[in-house]
């Protein structure tokens, strides 16, 4: 049901972004539009401009833009147009949101109030409508936030929480420490989390659970220019992200963290960033690593309440237990870099999980609970030119989630028809993802073989690949040997996922799966003058 223009006044400045005026809608409906010839064309200044296909020949098209220019383009340079009245629409029970890549005034308190108590058909499509309806009906189950990519996931989850009794302080803190800024993607989840919010007439209780998915990218220097944690950006670009930093400061205070704990959070985040800049070199005529300068280590050690010399010595020459004695073990440059990365990831992960526990304690009221609204934020499938261990973990998680969704939507729903006596012919939609899931998680699946190889000291990436081929090539329908493609990164095996075929490179998987921690450095952490760091590694 379309809202009259007079009713849209309640949405304030958000109104034109939620629904065009009646006059504009009529004009758009009457405007000639040919879906076969209307396209968007890449533009050096405007990103994309509208155009019309004039001719096609030998895989190339001649397009005339709205500015009157004609261009000869290959197929990859243009995309079909998609005319949407707003960035949000409904598809059945789902609210589909297109990321506009800029902040629109459609999530402010005025819009929250405008959606309160309205049925879905009484207002323009919006995620706030989903939130309010969930609250009104208090569905005893999970509301699935299933975006096509992880940008939409963390944005939608945060906006949902904003509407849900203004749990935006929770969303602000989670987004700062769980999302990342990328060149091609504005906001990307590094951590999957779910939130359950129990209600009576007012906020009763909220609890979250989470797991860190992309620990590698916390300290990966090659990816740091592309993907930066939001909290890192707050600290690096304090002028650009000053408003976000103020929001984070306020959220930390409201959620009950002490001044010392807040300082520790910032110090440890800064130290993790410095870990990514630590440099080591090989000693002359030896394989032993040594520090290549101490300036960065001095900064990291100061922030962590450690002695810089002790920290560098522990990194380069850790003490290991052999029998009943401790001996000093030499480390190559590569081994030190791997150990530093593992330490940084461990600090960040433990700090984040500690924050989750603290937030849950703050929000827990111990009151009785029966029904809840669940919000799940998870990264979407990832298919890049170069896909590694992290992408397999993310895509496996999505396979499980998609299987859950398909089973409930297509299988259990039809079984419900049968129970209710509805005449219905059972339809197999061909969406059973068990084969892919079993390939990855079953005994002698990809994860199982990886775990097995990690137990053998002499195992290599090659021996891991050979075992995968022996076990699955030609035997598992979802496992393939990729064909070499000129100009693309080497791929060692392919998996047919729900979202498509993904080529994986297995270089370094054994080391990533082990993620060993330098126990000598851990001992320093446990004695740190920074109480929060000592607490994180107490056990």
Model pLDDT for residues 477-510, shown as the tens digit of each residue: 999 999 988 888 899 999 999 999 999 999 989 9
The DSSP result for 321-351, as a single string, is EETTEEEE----HHHHHHHHHHHHHHHHHHH
The length of the chain is 539
Its pTM stands at: 0.68
The CATH 1.20.120.720 domain(s) of the chain lie at: 256-362+517-537
Return d(Cα 162, Cα 247) in angstroms, integer.
13
Q: Which CATH class is domain 88-227+372-377?
A: alpha beta
> Average pLDDT for residues 225-250, to the nearest whole number?
58
> Average pLDDT for residues 57-71, to the nearest whole number?
75
- How far apart, in Å, are the Cα atoms of 464 and each of 90, 100, 458? 46, 43, 11
Is the pLDDT score of 30 beyond 50? yes
The CATH 3.40.850.10 domain(s) of the chain lie at: 88-227+372-377
Identify which has the larger pLDDT, 536 or 137.
Answer: 536
Residue 46, Cβ neighbours under 10 Å: how many? 11
Q: CATH classification of 389-507, choosing from 1.20.58.530, 3.90.226.30, 3.40.50.300, 3.30.70.100?
A: 1.20.58.530
Output Rg (C-alpha) for the chain, integer angstroms.
27
Per-residue pLDDT reduced to its tens digit, 88-140 = 888 777 788 887 777 788 888 899 889 988 888 889 999 888 888 887 776 44
CA–CA–CA angle 185, 186, 189 (5° rounding): 80
Instruction: Compute the mean pLDDT over every residue in the chain, rounded to the nearest whole number.
Output: 79
Q: What is the pLDDT of residue 347?
A: 95
SS3 per-residue string spanning 439-474: HHHCCCCHHHHHHHHHCCCCCCHHHHHHHHHHHHCC
User: Are the beta carbons of 352 and 178 closer than 8 angstroms?
Assistant: yes
**345-358 burial string, b = 16+ CB within 10 Å, else e?**
bbbbbbbbbbbbee
User: Are the beta carbons of 492 and 504 closer than 8 angstroms?
Assistant: yes
Return d(Cα 256, Cα 204) in angstroms, integer.
17
Is the pLDDT score of 326 beyond 60? yes
Long-range contacts formed by 59-65: CB under 8 A, 24+ apart: 63/39, 65/41
Q: What is the pLDDT of residue 35?
A: 72
Per-residue pLDDT reduced to its tens digit, 422-454 = 888 887 776 678 999 999 999 999 999 999 999
Return d(Cα 108, Cα 476) in angstroms, integer.
50
* Residue 51 β-bridge partners: 39, 65
Identify which has the larger pLDDT, 352 or 372.
Answer: 352
Residue 217, Cβ neighbours under 10 Å: how many? 20
Return d(Cα 166, Cα 160) in angstroms, integer.
9
Burial of 419 (0-12, 13-18, 19+ CB in 10 A): exposed
Return d(Cα 445, Cα 439) in angstroms, integer.
5
Which CATH number applies to 30-84? Answer: 2.30.30
**Between the ranges 35-49, 320-334, 399-413, 514-528, where is the mean pLDDT highest?**
514-528
Percent helix, percent strand, percent coil in the chain, to nearest 5: 45, 20, 35
Is the pLDDT score of 376 beyond 50? yes
The CATH 1.20.58.530 domain(s) of the chain lie at: 389-507
CATH 1.20.120.720 fits 256-362+517-537, yes or no: yes
């Amino acid at each position: 049901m379309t809202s009259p223009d007079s009713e849209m006044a309640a949405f304030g400045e958000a109104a034109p972004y939620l629904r065009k005026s009646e006059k504009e809608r009529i004009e758009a409906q009457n405007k000639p539009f040919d879906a076969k010839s209307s396209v968007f064309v890449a533009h050096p200044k405007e990103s994309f401009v509208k155009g019309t296909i004039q001719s096609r020949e030998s895989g190339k098209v001649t397009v005339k833009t709205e500015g009157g220019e004609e261009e000869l383009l290959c197929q990859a340079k243009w995309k079909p147009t998609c005319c949407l009245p707003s960035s949000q629409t409904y598809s059945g029970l789902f609210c589909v949101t297109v990321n506009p890549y800029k902040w629109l005034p459609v999530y402010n308190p005025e819009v929250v109030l405008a959606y309160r108590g309205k049925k879905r058909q009484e207002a323009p499509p919006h995620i706030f409508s989903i939130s309010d309806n969930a609250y009104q009906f208090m569905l005893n189950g999970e509301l699935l936030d299933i975006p096509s990519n992880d940008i939409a996931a963390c944005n939608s989850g945060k906006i949902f929480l904003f509407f849900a009794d203004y749990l935006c302080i929770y969303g602000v803190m989670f987004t700062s420490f769980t999302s990342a800024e990328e060149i091609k993607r504005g906001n990307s989840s590094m951590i999957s989390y779910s939130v359950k919010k129990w209600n009576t007439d007012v906020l009763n209780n909220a609890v979250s659970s989470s797991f860190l998915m992309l620990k590698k990218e916390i300290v990966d220097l090659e990816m740091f220019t592309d993907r930066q944690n939001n909290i890192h950006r707050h600290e690096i670009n304090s002028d650009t992200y000053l408003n976000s930093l103020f929001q984070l400061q306020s959220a930390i205070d409201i959620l009950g963290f002490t001044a010392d704990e807040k300082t520790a959070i910032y110090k440890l985040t800064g130290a993790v960033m410095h870990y990514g800049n630590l440099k080591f070199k090989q000693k002359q005529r030896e394989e032993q690593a040594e520090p290549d300068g101490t300036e960065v280590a001095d900064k990291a050690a100061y922030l962590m309440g450690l002695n810089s010399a002790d920290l560098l010595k522990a990194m380069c020459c850790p003490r290991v237990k052999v029998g009943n004695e401790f001996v000093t073990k030499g480390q190559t440059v590569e081994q030190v870099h791997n150990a530093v990365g593992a330490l940084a990831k461990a600090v960040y992960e433990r700090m984040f999980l500690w924050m989750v526990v603290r937030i849950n304690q703050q929000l827990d009221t111990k009151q009785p609970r029966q029904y809840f609204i669940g919000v799940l934020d998870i990264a979407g499938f990832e298919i890049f030119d170069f896909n590694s261990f992290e992408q397999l973990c993310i895509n496996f998680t999505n396979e499980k989630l998609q299987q859950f969704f398909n089973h409930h939507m297509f299988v259990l729903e039809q079984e419900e028809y049968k129970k209710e006596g509805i005449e219905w012919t059972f339809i197999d939609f061909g969406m059973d993802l068990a084969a892919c899931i079993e390939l990855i998680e079953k005994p002698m699946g990809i994860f199982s073989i990886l775990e097995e190889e990690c137990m053998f000291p002499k195992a290599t990436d090659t021996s891991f690949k050979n075992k995968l081929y022996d076990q699955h090539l030609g035997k598992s329908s979802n496992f393939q040997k990729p064909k070499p493609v000129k100009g693309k990164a080497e791929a060692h095996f392919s998996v047919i996922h729900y979202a498509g075929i993904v080529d994986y490179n297995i270089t370094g998987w054994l080391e990533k799966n082990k993620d060993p921690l330098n126990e000598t450095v851990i001992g320093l952490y446990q004695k740190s003058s920074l109480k929060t760091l000592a607490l994180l590694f107490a056990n």
